[in-house]
Amino acid sequence: MINYIKLSYQIKRKLSIFSKKISKNISRPKFKFIFQMIYGFLESNSTLLSNIARALKEDILLKKTIERLSINLSSFDETEQLVKNYIDTIQPFINDNTIFCIDGSEITKRNSKVLEDMGTVRDGSTGETNVNGYNILEVAALTDKYKMPISAYSKVYSNACEDFKSENTETLKALDFIRTYFGNVGIKALDRGYDDNKFYKYFTKNEEQFVIRAKRNRDVIHNGKVINILNLANKYKGRYVTIIKNKAGKARKCKFSYIPISLPAIPDEKLTLVIIRGFGKIPMMLITNLNPTDKRLSLAILKVYLRRWRIEEYFRFKKQQFDFENIRVRSLNSIRTMNLLLSITIGFIALLSQRKKESVLVSLILKISKRIYDIPEFNYYALADGIYTILQKTKTGIKKFIKPRFKKKGSQQLTIADACI
């Protein structure tokens, strides 16, 4: 028989310890707010303040709790310290084998008209352009042990803001952030949307390793001549053969080759073109500054890019599990704070995932999630569902885990009963 009271206590205690770590050098009222938001996300699986407030189970009017959370969201000004503490927490999972996946997403708000600095976005699910909403730029680090994504950078921005310059500028800011906090460790993996000379020059200048999927209209230099990358790729049918599993788990036979190239924008920089066949009629073309000398390293480059799909799964999890696009706060600072706290909450789930074979608590959470089939490799959904099921059975919130800094002293005045003794 599962003891839900004991399990809920253990989860709350882990959340309390995690919240204290990421709230170091942050004022106590803000720590209380951060802890309550993270717990509220997990207990309600929602970003609606009304649901988060209900999850806290406070002995005051629900309206008062919602108002307090709303005020804290809009006035939160300790983002820099919070981010620093969070980076310190995930730092042990980052090393030279880490793959940093850089990609963008969006929050669509088709029917909203009063949100602050709301711009227009391209809806990735429908392909429709000029939809009301906000852009999100995310950098997820794939852990070396299980290759699971942990958010290393997340920012909501709008093309309607006065200080907005371009999406490429926002991406360069994210890359600067990663280099500042993590150095030049790991490999940066980017999709076709980032096949731009700005990024090749950036990585070359800062001596960072990268893998970028190239567009078919890109020109490259091969054997001293400028040639279209697709025309060059079509000359190679695949020297090596391997079996790769796609994101659906199906095995595919792939052939790949690698070719030394350079780019017209940086002709002195030696790069490698990796050509992969087996994912469609048009070969997949990857440009990297890694220099493969044998089949094993070529295969490593191939796997680096194919693991990028996990950031797409990360975005899907963030939106579906917590109904992120249904966010209903108005100020841009509130939206950014909500996004940051939700990313940190998913970071907590990621840290639990890293102990799936070591922790009895994590094993029980996965068991309680009651999957029809085996737990998939991307187990964030199962962990979130298991935590939700456990916390839903508790009748108390986290008030006991937020201890007052000073204990109230009893009154020193004698009562009539005391005086008569």
pLDDT score of 403 more than 80: no
CB-CB contact of 335 with 134 (8 Å): yes
**β pairing state of 187-190 and 209-213:** parallel
* Pairwise CA distance, residues 80 & 86, whole Å: 10
pLDDT band at residue 40 using 50, 70 and 90 as cut-offs: very high
pLDDT at 246: 64
pLDDT at 412: 46
Give whole-number Cα distances, 16 to 74, 217, 218, 405, in Å: 23, 52, 51, 15
Render pLDDT for 79-126 as a digit per residue (tens, 0 to 9). 999 999 999 999 999 998 899 999 999 999 988 888 899 999 998 878
When mean pLDDT is compared across 163-167, 182-186, 401-405, the lowest value belongs to: 401-405
**Residue with more model confidence, 271 or 252:** 271
DSSP secondary structure of 167-235 = HHHHHHHHHHHHHHHHTT-SEEEE-GGG--HHHHHHHHHHT-EEEEEPPTT-EEEETTEEEEHHHHHTT
* Pairwise CA distance, residues 331 & 61, whole Å: 24
pLDDT band at residue 296 using 50, 70 and 90 as cut-offs: low
Beta strands in 345-388 (DSSP E): none
* Pairwise CA distance, residues 248 & 89, whole Å: 31
Q: Give this prediction's pTM.
A: 0.90
pLDDT band at residue 410 using 50, 70 and 90 as cut-offs: low
pLDDT score of 152 more than 70: yes
Mean pLDDT of the chain, nearest integer: 89
